Copies of this chain bind each other. A is one copy, B any other.
């Protein structure tokens, strides 16, 4: 067997933990090291044999890591880390602030080229797999319309927003696609759907003792950007119920492209994900793109890349012949 692809994990939250587990499912890879901003000895990983270093020592390990997976957040971590580490490593990140992707791409591209590395940005399922389906759907059915629905799943951002409200002890928010909207799209009706018509929001809230529930519910439902444009339901439950029934991080969604060909012939492409764990799935996507980053770097390719820029053959551990024989 060829040498294994040595992966580094930088950041050990839900995503880092998911990457740790995903690597175990890929025999052509090995987890070489963790990098953390915490005290290394304080980090309890699920891989006791894998060394943990402080991020300050990352650059000194650059010859031991084939691909560094950056598992930080999009708000403040990745805008700094991705351009920084792309100078020294092939990297994969999951930058998901859609509006800032062009800027992030440009920054990462410059340092990846300077360092002679491949740097995948915005890898995951949206952006990521959903983007791929949108792009291909647009190319195949140019006379058509895209629909993306998210859920049923936990939105971390909306859950955080609930938890910031005074009197809220804990909470979880589910984004839910509206079945009637999905059915209209699938029926090829090409509906124009408002934000409210596409998704509803379900909140499970643990209030502090004696808190004003009516005020909390009202603050949630009228919160601009997060909830005001949606039909939102608020359920007050106990901490025990929340822990018992809402501890998972499921997610998923749908990308649908409807269009016509020839003399108004209806055609429909639908891609859907039903994910038991959002971060574990995102991690699994990232790990496949880490393989692609490694292979592309071996061919001398450099610069920032997205899921649009990689031929699918690079994602697979199989040879091109095996891919054609078994999967085409």
Majority SS of interface residues in chain A? helix
- Set of chain B residues within 8 Å of A291, measured between Cβ atoms: 139
> A138: which of B263, B283, B316 is its contact (CB, 8 Å)?
B316
Residue in A141, A285, A324 whose Cβ sees the most chain B Cβ within 10 Å: A324
For the complex, count residues of A whose C-beta is within 8 A of B. 66
- Set of chain B residues within 8 Å of A260, measured between Cβ atoms: 276
A306 is an interface residue with CB less than 8 A from chain B: yes
Alpha-carbon separation in the docked complex, A271 to B269 (Å): 8
> A308: which of B139, B276, B285, B311 is its contact (CB, 8 Å)?
B311
Alpha-carbon separation in the docked complex, A252 to B150 (Å): 24
Copies per assembly = 2
Contact residues of A between 102 and 144, Cβ < 8 Å to B? 102, 105, 122, 127, 129, 131-132, 134-136, 138-143
Can you spell out 21 A-B residue pairs with CB atoms less than 8 angstroms apart? A21-B263, A101-B325, A102-B324, A105-B324, A131-B328, A132-B312, A135-B313, A135-B327, A139-B312, A139-B315, A139-B317, A140-B288, A265-B280, A268-B274, A268-B275, A271-B271, A306-B324, A306-B328, A308-B311, A309-B312, A309-B320
- Residues of chain A having any CB pair with chain B under 8 Å: 18, 21-22, 25-26, 98, 101-102, 105, 122, 127, 129, 131-132, 134-136, 138-143, 186, 260-263, 265-277, 280-281, 283-285, 288, 291, 306-313, 315-317, 320-321, 323-325, 327-328
